[in-house]
Amino acid sequence: MVLFLNDTLDHFFHEQRERFILWVPVGIGVGILAYFSFTPFCHVSWFLIGGIGLLSAALTVLFSTFFKLRILLLGLFCISLGFMASHIRTLVATTPILNTSLEDPVWVRGTIVDISQGVNQKKLILSVEHIQKVIQNPPKKIQLIYRAKREKEKVLHPGDFIELKAKLECLQGPLVPGGYDFRRQAVFKQIGAQGYVVYIHRVTHPQKNSFFALLDHYRLTLTQKFLKHLPGQEGAMAAALITGDTASLSKEVRTAFADSGTAHILAISGLHLSLIGGLLLALTRFLVGFCPPLILRIPAKKIAAVLALVGALGYLYLSGCRVPTQRAFISFGLMMLAILIDRNPLSMRLVAVAATCILLISPEVLFTPSFQLSFAAVVGLIAFYESVQIQTYNKSRIHKFLVYGVGILFSSVVASIATLPFTIYHFYKFTLQSISSNLLMIPLLSLWVMPLCLGFIGLSWWPLGEQVCVFFLGKGLALMIHIAEVFSNLPGSLLYLPGFSRAAFALTVFGGLILCLFTGKVRWNGVGLLVLAVGYTFLFPKPTPILFIAEGGKNIGIVHQNHLFLSSPRTDTFLATVWSGYVGIPPNHVHALKQKKAHPLMPPIIWQGKSFLVTLEDLTIGYEKTAEDVAWLREKSDVLVAPKGQIVKGEGAVPTFLVDEEIASHGSHIFYRHPNRMMRAR
């Protein structure tokens, strides 16, 4: 038995000898996850972890002849490397933060660093120069939401100096326990407070003669040309795809793309940059072929790689230089570098190098959905094409074009399957027709819309030049919108799921990594882990919460008969979307507790001013909003939410759980039933 296991292990290490290098970013990711999971202990333990890593590196050299031991020690070194990179990044990113929300608006002066366009609002990031004296140690940057009617909206650009009055709040933590940590990600961007604009007093547009100022002007001009020559939502779509300006996209179009599983097309990411770079690479290589003296001296593919890299860099800045696009550019740049040094640009090693560089520079991106989705798609695609090699050498151009088209179709299917677990885990829903809609949308985007967008940009430098491709571009964009609307309106197109437990998600990710990163028969063990993850999800599902409490106790949600009832009158907020998704409840099952006509499934509720008492079978939940005559809540509540703490003192029965000001300030909470008691998680 021992000999059999030893032989099996020897065969495994020999077979996967060239593939272990692909697990370097995985080890770094484990170290990053360990650091942020045990943050309270890191100020002591990171030295220990770092020491283990350095010791592992030293032992790797000493035991270099023992391959198995060397792999084990290198694995420990990668984990410690991720741990240390996280700690160094945390020290560098340390910034003053606002610990308590301000009651009154304050005057702020600063420079606009970044502007993101949302639905009927703009998100501003300000580099603060001065905040009213109520804050002793003001943040370096703040994030503000700016809402205004279009006719009264101020024209703002990055680099503008602005003076405004704003309501500032402390940074928001995860909306659900274990969810995306907005506070942590904001701190890594040097943002120390958030809030909204009350009034803009003055905006100063400085004289700009720099390259970036000219680029901003060209971006605005190009957006206006799209909107002028392509009226309606077609022009808005073109602007969103090229310049990243989504201001003119209607809510109906956004909803259609989201419900059809193609919302990623509206947000500029690695897909768009790769398409632009790939088109430039193919076009340049084709055109260089008409210059024999040049290609006799320099390989055409290397000339094309350099020009494609320059074009991708231009698109990066033209689209606003967003963080996901920056990561995609790093990966694309490594691909072009591989072409220049005569290496395979579509190899798993290149993906591992890109992931390693990104994780060491910005460890916090490991937890962002964009990083996970983009690398899941790329790893899945390369693993698929490693297994299915299609030879096109010495084939006709028609054959190559057909192979390219079929490849795009298969790529859509593989990418959709690879990103499915991450979509469910982060967004709590799955579009049943997403594979079908992407199967139509991605080829249309790749072969029709993006080439014509490039043509529009190139011809726009000539008088009336853009008119050449406006008609066909408009038809392609209209067809994309039509496809999204058709698939979003199909019955049962959206499936709302409560998502994986963390254990099931970890099994799924690890199984997918084994399936994609290893080779031979070993990789099929990953399928077993994926099946195990599905079984674990059904056998040990996440407990269904019955009560959500927002950070600070400003809002609560009660789950009753597959409906979510909120203390806030607004049911269309991002918070409501996350809470309803967490328990797999569709948006039309979200209601306000206080309304003129009570919902038939609303639990019994007693109001007194802004405070209320809700009865759920054998459980009563009290919510205290004001300090006026709320002793009855203390006496009758099993769970009492008193975020302001006015009724903690006094006579009366003590609730089973009392969520007061101190507890509520530590982040969002959920309560769920246990066979013998109530349980709380945060």
Residue of 141 and 154 predicted with greater confidence: 141
Distance of CA 462 to the CA centre of its chain: 39
What are the structure tokens assigned to 153, written together? 């909206």
Distance of CA 109 to the CA centre of its chain: 30
Judgement on whether residues 482 and 451 belong to the same structural domain of the protein: yes
CA–CA distance, 137 with 266 (Å, rounded to integer): 39
Count how many Cα atoms sit within 13 Å of the Cα of residue 401 in the half-sphere of its side chain. 4
- Going by C-beta distance under 8 Å and a sequence separation of 6 or more, which residues neighbour residue 155? 203
Judgement on whether residues 354 and 308 belong to the same structural domain of the protein: yes
Q: For tokens 């100022």, what's the residue? A: 213
Q: What is the pLDDT of residue 390?
A: 53
Mean pLDDT within 101-130: 83
Q: What is the DSSP track for 208-233? A: --SHHHHHHHHHHHHHHHHHHHSTTH
Nearest to residue 242, comparing CAs of 323, 121, 325, 334?
325
CA–CA distance, 304 with 339 (Å, rounded to integer): 10
What are the structure tokens assigned to 24, written together? 């370097």
> What percent of the residues of the chain are helix, what percent strand, and what percent coil, each to the nearest 5?
55, 15, 30
Question: Which one-letter DSSP state was computed for residue 359?
Answer: H
Output the pTM of the full model: 0.83
Q: What is the pLDDT of residue 649?
A: 44
SS3 546: strand
Contacts 24+ apart (CB under 8 A), 321-324: 322/244, 322/268, 323/365, 323/370, 324/267, 324/268, 324/269, 324/270, 324/370, 324/371, 324/374
Q: What is the pLDDT of residue 540?
A: 63
In the β-sheet with 657-659, what is the strand arrangement from edge to edge? 605-608, 611-616, 619-623, 639-641, 657-659
Ranges 58-62, 307-311, 315-319, 394-398, most confident = 307-311
Cβ(81)–Cβ(360) below 8 Å: yes
Q: Which of 63, 92, 121 is the last residue of a domain?
A: 92
Mean pLDDT within 115-120: 70
Exposed / middle / buried, residue 369 (Cβ in 10 Å: 0-12, 13-18, 19+): middle
Ranges 91-95, 388-392, 478-482, most confident = 478-482
Q: What is the pLDDT of residue 506?
A: 84
Nearest to residue 184, comparing CAs of 93, 100, 82?
93
Residue 149 lies in a domain: yes
Judgement on whether residues 404 and 432 belong to the same structural domain of the protein: yes
SS3 291: coil
Residue 642 lies in a domain: yes
Residue 199 lies in a domain: yes
Instruction: Tell me how crowded residue 518 is: count the other CB atoms within 10 A of its CB.
Output: 21
Per DSSP, what are the bridge partners of residue 121? 118
Query: What values do phi and psi take at 336, rounded to 5?
Result: -65, -35
Cβ(623)–Cβ(638) below 8 Å: no
Cβ(570)–Cβ(576) below 8 Å: yes
Ranges 253-267, 404-418, 451-465, 637-651, most confident = 253-267
pLDDT band for position 674 (50/70/90)? low
Residue 519 lies in a domain: yes
CA–CA distance, 483 with 656 (Å, rounded to integer): 53
Mean pLDDT of the chain: 79
Q: Which of 462, 496, 530 is the last residue of a domain?
A: 496
We report the CATH number of the domain holding residue 165 as 2.40.50
Please state whether beta strands 141-146 and 563-566 pair in parallel, antiparallel, or not at all (unpaired).
unpaired
Judgement on whether residues 508 and 430 belong to the same structural domain of the protein: no
Q: Which of 191, 206, 221 is the last residue of a domain?
A: 206
**R_g of the chain, CA atoms, integer Å:** 28
**Sequence letter at residue 444:** L
User: For residue 110, what is the enclosing H or E element?
Assistant: strand 106-118
Judgement on whether residues 385 and 458 belong to the same structural domain of the protein: yes
Question: Which one-letter DSSP state was computed for residue 205?
Answer: -
Judgement on whether residues 334 and 422 belong to the same structural domain of the protein: yes
SS3 655: coil
Residue length of the chain: 682
In the β-sheet with 678-681, what is the strand arrangement from edge to edge? 590-592, 563-566, 556-560, 545-549, 669-673, 678-681
The answer on pLDDT for 568 being more than 60 is yes
Cβ(168)–Cβ(132) below 8 Å: no
Ranges 268-277, 581-590, 635-644, 655-664, most confident = 581-590
pLDDT band for position 366 (50/70/90)? very high
Q: What is the pLDDT of residue 453?
A: 87
Cα 318-323-324 angle, rounded to 5 deg: 95
Residue 161 Cα distances to 110, 114, 516, 572, angstroms: 6, 12, 49, 33
Judgement on whether residues 389 and 467 belong to the same structural domain of the protein: yes
CA–CA distance, 192 with 143 (Å, rounded to integer): 8
Q: What tens digit of pLDDT does each residue of 29-81 get? A: 999 998 888 765 455 555 566 666 666 666 666 666 677 777 887 888 888 88
Residue 160 lies in a domain: yes
Give the sign of the dihedral formed by CA 271, CA 273, CA 279, CA 285: negative
Per DSSP, what are the bridge partners of residue 454? none
What are the structure tokens assigned to 120, written together? 């009927």
SS3 194: strand
Residue 113 lies in a domain: yes
User: For residue 162, what is the enclosing H or E element?
Assistant: strand 161-169
What are the structure tokens assigned to 22, written together? 């692909």
Residue 461 lies in a domain: yes
Mean pLDDT within 592-618: 81
Cβ(345)–Cβ(335) below 8 Å: yes
pLDDT band for position 143 (50/70/90)? very high
Cβ(636)–Cβ(580) below 8 Å: no
Q: What is the pLDDT of residue 575?
A: 86
Q: What is the pLDDT of residue 24?
A: 92
Per DSSP, what are the bridge partners of residue 680? 671
Residue 99 lies in a domain: no
Q: How many domains does the chain have?
A: 5
Judgement on whether residues 416 and 289 belong to the same structural domain of the protein: yes
Judgement on whether residues 385 and 291 belong to the same structural domain of the protein: yes
Judgement on whether residues 171 and 147 belong to the same structural domain of the protein: yes
User: For residue 146, what is the enclosing H or E element?
Assistant: strand 141-146
Judgement on whether residues 268 and 358 belong to the same structural domain of the protein: yes
Mean pLDDT within 298-306: 83
Per DSSP, what are the bridge partners of residue 115? 124
Judgement on whether residues 549 and 567 belong to the same structural domain of the protein: yes
CA–CA distance, 637 with 331 (Å, rounded to integer): 55
Q: For residue 297, what are the domain limits? A: 234-496
Query: What values do phi and psi take at 289, rounded to 5?
Result: -60, -20
